[in-house]
Amino acid sequence: MVEPKVALVTGASRGAGAGIARGFGEKGMTVYVTGRSTAPGLAHGWDGSVLPGTVAETAEAVTKAGGKGIPVVCDHSDDTQVAALFEQIEREQGRLDILVNNAAYMHRQLIEKKPFWEKELAAVGILDVGLRSAYVASWHAAKMMVRQGSGTIAFSSSFGASCYMHGPAYGAQKAGIDKFAHDMEHDLRDTGVRTFSIWMGPLVTERSAIARETNPEQYEGFIETAENPEFTGHIIYALATDPKGAALSGRTLIGAEVARDLGVTDRGKERPSYREMLGSPPEPNPAAVY
């Protein structure tokens, strides 16, 4: 396996994406980080407060971590902007080793305890930026990776693909990207390109800190054992480089579990799985119908 040098993390102004990008930076990678935030104000927490974080700040953090961060303002609902992003990477680097599909629309009512029809219809936006956008980015990445004979396409997912979590739109998006990893592996088999979907546990992010304050009875226990988002970056890097990763391609993996198998820790700590509480990933189905 070619040692990965260049990564793209979508939706990396803050949260999981920013942490994954920093994790790649700690591995010395050149990391393109995308998002829409050029200044605080575009994203808000569950309580309406303005969230910090911009693509430039994440890129700077990647560089400080030991890599090279390159910010690209990109709206992943716009296919033209996404095409230009991949053209830029091709022009500047000539290759792409890891794509992490993380960009997703987070509606302000996502964690409200209401049935879906009592939330705004706009909550369905996660099926555009989150599901469709991941397909588009993977389409571009696959063309580059197949040509170079190596690469990894990863999806940041969650137990919401199995259990009820944040409502049907969120769950459908997570289940959908898990299926992307499964089916794209079939098409990419024998090309040297690996695919994975990673179920992350609760994360230490700007939004989760607010969730802890606004819904302490729901999130207090989870946050106590929450993962640093850089942990997922280290897991994906290991899956891209470890020979075991080839055998796991196409699978939906619980991050905490595969981390133990690969010898990856979260700043020296192992994290709980939540499998018994929240569900298990589906087993790969070998059937193929054309």
For the annotated catalytic residues, the residue numbers are 170
Residue 49's CB is within 10 A of a number of other CB atoms, namely 11
* Amino acid at position 188, single letter: L
Do residues 33 and 17 touch, judged by C-beta distance below 8 A? yes
- Tell me how far apart the alpha carbons of residues 228 and 26 are, in angstroms, rounded to a whole number: 14
**Main-chain dihedrals φ then ψ at residue 101, nearest 5 degrees:** -85, 105
The sign of the CA dihedral 20, 23, 24, 30 is: positive
Using the 8-state DSSP alphabet, how is residue 111 labeled? T
What residues are paired with 203 via a beta bridge?
Answer: 227
Residue 63's CB is within 10 A of a number of other CB atoms, namely 16
- Return the residue matching tokens 């690209």: 72
